[in-house]
Structure 1
Amino acid sequence: MLKFLTITNFATIDHIELDLAKGLNVLTGETGSGKSIIVDAINLLMGGRANTASVRFGASHSIVEGIFHVNNTAIDAINTILIDPELCLDHEDRSLILSRRISIDGPSICRINGRIVTRRLLSEIAESLVDIHNQGEHLSLLRVKEHVNFLDHYAGISDNRNQLSLAIASLRSLQHQLSELYTDETERLRTIESLSNEVAEIDNARLQLDEDEALSKERRIVANQEQLITSLSNAYSALHDKEAESKSAGDMVGLAANSLHQIEFLDEHLKSFREIAEDISIKLADLAMSLRSYLDGLQYTPGRLQEIEERLDVILLLKRKYGPTVQQILEYREHAAARLEAISEQGEKVSELYEQQSQSEADIGRLASKLSAARSAATEKLVNSVEAELSQLAMDRTKIQVSISQSASDEGIPINGQRYSFDYTGIDQVEFLISPNSGEPLKPLATIASGGESSRIMLALKVTLSEIDKVPTLIFDEIDSGIGGRVGNTVGGKLSNLSQGRQVLCVTHLPQIASFADHHIQVTKVFKNGRTITMTKVLSTLQRIEEITEMLGHVSEASRQNAKDLLRSSADYKKLNKFQIEKP
């Protein structure tokens, strides 16, 4: 249960510290005083979405903190979620502190016992601690898609729903894999043929890396071979031709070196000149030898130029098809070969995936059938329980029916030879039908229920579901919407019954409901320094009389006596029903 609540800088709340008790806690106050703001703050504490607009004007942040007293059973359940030993709760202390900080210029911060945690973890923990019924939640009864959730909650089949969700996720994955494969056999064979031709064409060319560059160089040489021979011969003769009439360059430099050698004793500088001449002579000899070797290597091969041109044409054609370089052509070949192998094996892969898809659909069909059976089994009991509750809420002639239907679909899942449309809830379309008055046919609840009726039906559902749910704290924000005083007395009794063994927090505008409070909190707003501030106060018995008197609408001795009668009647009801607040 929620023992202590602190709210700071939240909407119109400057700072409040609220002691809450076991049993039925009631919040009352004028419209706009801030009752629902307190519920909003608790919702934020429970992991609800943060809105910086809720930070009080002029403040940098809001803080909401709650101290919970947790029984041993809840501690075990919470510890399985927390996992982290440093976060896990102590069975001796049995206290849990949750807090939430909302900043106008930064992320929200969630804490469990002072340790920063994710909002998701905070929300998971909160689900086992508090169930909040907000204003307007009864309108969810008008959304047909929500009806299946109410039924499943009562049937206690959340585990089955989770299994179905996992199975459907698996099916969607298989379908995605199939969509990426070639399911058209004609197209697959056409692609295989195309890739095979491409790989064969590249393989037949027997390409070598940098082959095109080497061929281009050779083509220049072969195409200009005559000019090369003439020029190289002339160069060689000029350097080292012994048979020429005039002396060669090598001879002339050799002569110069010899002449310098003869006179170098006269001046030491001449020696360096002679060494330079000898070095030039050696280099000229090496150059002549290299030219001779190059000339000897030039061989005329008839038809070689044509061979080169044809080979370069082949490479050019492949470049146009598969890439601007030989390297890229070879890379394309490897990629095409890999695709060819994959697609060639795809027929077997597709068959395997289709087989897995059929098995997955069968699994979904089995799980969906199990859900349908559980819903059908729970329907009658749910209807009887809700109708029994409604009979005590001035709707004793109301008949409820839960319609469960399925839709055939060729794209659905197979069950007993028939395919049915499905989603993550299964194959069933669940809808609540209602007949508010005897003799009237059952019609969709979403189309005919009034606001007051839907509020009472929601309360009846909540009371019924509370038999299944063991959440220690239930919060109702104006569950009495659209309900009058006579029915309000019954609703108060229902809330009082609900608070046996658990904590109930209720925001109400009806004095009849307020009279059942075990812990009555008045919410007021005051104006201070030009600002509106929400304040709270736990009422004494005498103060409760005055508060309920004001809620009755006219302050007088008669209304004050009426308030006392309401409180006395509520006390008698609790006594008659042996109402006791369980100790922790």
Structure 2
Amino acid sequence: MLTEFSIKNFAIIDELSIHFQKGLTVLTGGETGAGKSIIIDALGLLIGGRGSVEFVRHGEKKAELEGLFIIDDTTHPIYQKTEELGIEIMEDHMLVLHRTISHTGKSICRLNGKLITLGILKEIGQSIMDIHSQHETQTLLDKEKHIELLDYFHETTHPSFKKDYQKLYSQWLQLKNKYEANNKNEQELAQRIDLFEFQLKEIQNADLQPLEDVLLTNERNELNHFHTIHQNLNDAYNALHGEQKGLDWLSHASNNLEEAGEHNKEIQSMHEQFVNHYFLIEELSYQIRHHLDQMDYEPARIEIIESRLNEIDQLKRKYGTSVEEIMTYSAKIEEELEEIKNRDQHLSNLAATLNALANDLLIEAKELHTIRNKAAKKLEKAVLSELNDLYLEKTKFRVDINYVKSEKGISLDGFKVSPHKNGINQVKFLISTNPGEPVKELGKIASGGEMSRIMLALKNIFSKHQGITSVIFDEVDTGVSGRVAQSMAEKIYNISFGSQVLCITHLPQVASIADTHLRIEKVIKKERTHTTIKELSFEERIDEIGKMITGAELTDTSRTHAKELIEMNHKKR
């Protein structure tokens, strides 16, 4: 859940810090433009929404937004995502999102203090917070999203039902792309053959050896410093061998320790260790001598190495940064060249494999089709039950499932279908809110108030399983009143059982059922507009809801009504 939200220099808000509680929190404010929706806008930007310099308060250089979330459920997908990013969630399950928008339009995003991209902020933010507004209901009108909603409804009880299909689809799509890439026109293939043959000949003529560039570079370095290496090795050897030299003195020390050890066991042990090290140093001195004997300075060899390295560098500019990369590229184009030259046979083999894979894909897709039809019936029943509670009892709701047909698709039962990542289906939500009228697409039937209720019905179905920790409603109850408003209030409150809910509302029914009531006000100080926020006490809630009831001045009657409404909803809770 979201526990703290800080806003600085955002729109008309100079500085604001809001502490949120569990359950349902409502935000109200009698004056339009007081800042209620601005707070929702700020939350939208915090979870990756599109920013704009217009959000930066006039006269300031940047706007800053920061939210503190507590994610108690350690199985939440956010834990896996942050682990992939190398970001640690604190022991008390705290997650801090931070976003800065400068007056130049630059956006800086952080997660627990670590810089992240806007894309990652959006992915993280939208996995823990869901914002719904009057305009957001447009998502419901997008029929491309309906298949995902239906699948999600089924996934709550069968989380891996698409796994086999999607694995096959990935293989099929990869093979299909490969087949199409190989099935190109003759002129382009001829050009590729010429290019690959030239490149392959150039690389093969070079007769490269593994790690050749590294070995030659080391040899060149040794030859360039031959005299220094030889002189130092010679001096090292001479320092060890000869009368009054290193090994001679070490031999004297060994004799002294041996004699002393005859009378002391501890010294005797020291002598044994000394002898072992003496033999080791002696062996190293022989190795130095051997290396000196093997060293032979060849000035002409440097020229040969330089010429060979130059040849390799020319190949590196074209085919890779190392000999290994060049050899890998050579093997790759040799294989591709072979495929092109044997194109007909290769295409035939690919086509056969592709056809077999397509048949397997269709089997899984048809199974998905059957599953979706069963899930659709359950979803229809669940939505109608929710709509009945919202006094849309005469509404018809249908989930329409069809095949995605295409002339260039895969043959299925006498027609062709076009597979996509979710199968071969297209799903549409159809509705009729008036008796006797046929079901049609949502956007062609539902009014604003009806759309709000439909959206709330779907949200109430999905919210328990989405893993979203905070759900935001921005005036989704607009256009309703009376018993419908009371029913919507109860639906919104039900969602708060599984997720923290923040709701901007103008309805007294919603405000009265809340666990926490915040009032937002706009004030003028020193000729500048500021936004303030206050958590209301019980008596203050009565006054605020009383004003919401009358829409004007507070009266004794509205105050009494407001108190009764709060007490009634308290009993229902």
Counterparts of 1:131 and 1:463, CA distance in 2: 13
Per the alignment, in what secondary structure is the counterpart of residue 65 of structure 1? strand
Per the alignment, in what secondary structure is the counterpart of residue 83 of structure 1? helix
Counterpart in 1 of 2:558? 559
| Contact 2:464–2:495 (8 Å) recurs in 1 | no
Counterpart in 2 of 1:473? 470
| Contact 2:26–2:502 (8 Å) recurs in 1 | yes
2:71 equivalent to 1:63: no
Per the alignment, in what secondary structure is the counterpart of residue 16 of structure 1? strand
Counterpart in 2 of 1:102? 101
Counterpart in 1 of 2:39? 38
Counterparts of 2:120 and 2:495, CA distance in 1: 28
Counterpart in 2 of 1:51? 52
Give deviations 1:517-555, integer Å, cap 9, x for gaps.
111111111222333222211111111112112212132
| Matched ranges for 1:526-541 at <5 A | 526-541=523-538
| Contact 1:142–1:447 (8 Å) recurs in 2 | no
**CA deviation after TM superposition for structure 1 residue 453, in Å:** 0.9
| Contact 1:362–1:414 (8 Å) recurs in 2 | no
| Contact 1:361–1:414 (8 Å) recurs in 2 | no
TM-score (norm: length of structure 2): 0.68
2:370 equivalent to 1:373: yes
| Contact 1:403–1:433 (8 Å) recurs in 2 | yes
| Matched ranges for 1:514-533 at <5 A | 514-533=511-530
**CA deviation after TM superposition for structure 1 residue 39, in Å:** 1.2
Counterparts of 1:367 and 1:430, CA distance in 2: 17
**Which shows bigger deviation, 473-482 or 136-145?**
136-145
Counterparts of 2:336 and 2:25, CA distance in 1: 70
**Which shows bigger deviation, 133-142 or 39-48?**
133-142
Letter of the 2:15 partner, please give it.
H
| Matched ranges for 1:424-443 at <5 A | 424-443=421-440
**CA deviation after TM superposition for structure 1 residue 457, in Å:** 0.5
**Which shows bigger deviation, 415-424 or 18-27?**
415-424
**CA deviation after TM superposition for structure 1 residue 474, in Å:** 1.2
Counterparts of 2:27 and 2:336, CA distance in 1: 70
Counterpart in 2 of 1:483? 480
Counterpart in 1 of 2:4? 4
Counterpart in 2 of 1:502? 499
Letter of the 2:449 partner, please give it.
G
Per the alignment, in what secondary structure is the counterpart of residue 26 of structure 2? strand
**CA deviation after TM superposition for structure 1 residue 418, in Å:** 4.5
Letter of the 1:379 partner, please give it.
A
Counterpart in 2 of 1:512? 509
| Matched ranges for 1:6-155 at <5 A | 6-29=6-29, 30-74=31-75, 77-83=77-83, 87-90=87-90, 92-105=91-104, 107-155=106-154
Counterparts of 2:408 and 2:84, CA distance in 1: 45
Give deviations 1:69-128, integer Å, cap 9, x for gaps.
221335x632211126962224x4122211111122363222222122223333333233
Counterparts of 1:350 and 1:183, CA distance in 2: 11
2:465 equivalent to 1:464: no
- Decide whether aligned partners of structure 1 residues 132 and 163 sit closer, same or farther in structure 2, where only a CA change above 3 A counts: farther
Counterparts of 1:72 and 1:345, CA distance in 2: 56
**CA deviation after TM superposition for structure 1 residue 141, in Å:** 2.5
Give deviations 1:424-445, integer Å, cap 9, x for gaps.
3322121122222344333332
Counterpart in 1 of 2:245? none
| Contact 1:110–1:117 (8 Å) recurs in 2 | yes
Note the aligned Cα RMSD (angstroms).
3.1
- Decide whether aligned partners of structure 1 residues 467 and 85 sit closer, same or farther in structure 2, where only a CA change above 3 A counts: closer
Counterparts of 2:556 and 2:129, CA distance in 1: 40
TM-score (norm: length of structure 1): 0.67
**CA deviation after TM superposition for structure 1 residue 483, in Å:** 1.6
Give deviations 1:553-574, integer Å, cap 9, x for gaps.
1322112222112111211211
Letter of the 2:552 partner, please give it.
H
**CA deviation after TM superposition for structure 1 residue 464, in Å:** 0.7
Letter of the 2:58 partner, please give it.
F
Q: Percent identity, aligned pairs only? A: 40
- Decide whether aligned partners of structure 1 residues 106 and 133 sit closer, same or farther in structure 2, where only a CA change above 3 A counts: closer
Counterparts of 2:19 and 2:472, CA distance in 1: 15
Letter of the 1:538 partner, please give it.
E
**Which shows bigger deviation, 134-143 or 57-66?**
134-143
Counterparts of 1:137 and 1:338, CA distance in 2: 52
2:397 equivalent to 1:400: yes
**CA deviation after TM superposition for structure 1 residue 163, in Å:** 6.8
Letter of the 1:32 partner, please give it.
G
| Contact 2:146–2:427 (8 Å) recurs in 1 | yes
2:364 equivalent to 1:389: no
| Contact 1:485–1:510 (8 Å) recurs in 2 | no
Per the alignment, in what secondary structure is the counterpart of residue 149 of structure 1? helix
Counterparts of 1:142 and 1:382, CA distance in 2: 17
Larger Rg: 1
| Contact 1:110–1:116 (8 Å) recurs in 2 | yes
Counterparts of 2:346 and 2:547, CA distance in 1: 77
**CA deviation after TM superposition for structure 1 residue 385, in Å:** 1.1
- Decide whether aligned partners of structure 1 residues 162 and 530 sit closer, same or farther in structure 2, where only a CA change above 3 A counts: farther
| Contact 1:139–1:454 (8 Å) recurs in 2 | no
| Number of residue equivalences | 430
Counterparts of 2:104 and 2:148, CA distance in 1: 37
**CA deviation after TM superposition for structure 1 residue 159, in Å:** 5.6
Counterparts of 1:355 and 1:563, CA distance in 2: 73
Per the alignment, in what secondary structure is the counterpart of residue 569 of structure 1? helix
Per the alignment, in what secondary structure is the counterpart of residue 50 of structure 2? coil
| Contact 1:47–1:123 (8 Å) recurs in 2 | yes
Counterparts of 2:448 and 2:95, CA distance in 1: 38
Counterparts of 1:93 and 1:362, CA distance in 2: 51
Per the alignment, in what secondary structure is the counterpart of residue 400 of structure 1? strand
- Decide whether aligned partners of structure 1 residues 103 and 570 sit closer, same or farther in structure 2, where only a CA change above 3 A counts: same
Give deviations 1:119-140, integer Å, cap 9, x for gaps.
3333333233212213312233
Structure 2 residue runs of 5 or longer lacking an equivalent are 199-333
- Decide whether aligned partners of structure 1 residues 395 and 340 sit closer, same or farther in structure 2, where only a CA change above 3 A counts: closer
Counterparts of 1:371 and 1:113, CA distance in 2: 40
Counterparts of 1:87 and 1:407, CA distance in 2: 42
Give deviations 1:146-205, integer Å, cap 9, x for gaps.
322221221227866677667556545444444443567xx69x979x99xxx9xxxxxx
| Matched ranges for 1:157-196 at <5 A | 168=169, 170-182=171-183
Letter of the 1:375 partner, please give it.
R
Counterparts of 2:44 and 2:363, CA distance in 1: 38
Counterpart in 2 of 1:261? none
- Decide whether aligned partners of structure 1 residues 560 and 165 sit closer, same or farther in structure 2, where only a CA change above 3 A counts: same
**CA deviation after TM superposition for structure 1 residue 390, in Å:** 0.8
Letter of the 2:437 partner, please give it.
E
Per the alignment, in what secondary structure is the counterpart of residue 513 of structure 2? coil
- Decide whether aligned partners of structure 1 residues 374 and 548 sit closer, same or farther in structure 2, where only a CA change above 3 A counts: same
**CA deviation after TM superposition for structure 1 residue 455, in Å:** 0.9
| Contact 2:463–2:498 (8 Å) recurs in 1 | no
Counterparts of 2:170 and 2:336, CA distance in 1: 28
Give deviations 1:289-323, integer Å, cap 9, x for gaps.
xxxxxxxxxxxxxxxxxxxxxxxxxxxxxxxxxxx
Counterparts of 1:478 and 1:162, CA distance in 2: 38
Counterparts of 1:22 and 1:182, CA distance in 2: 60
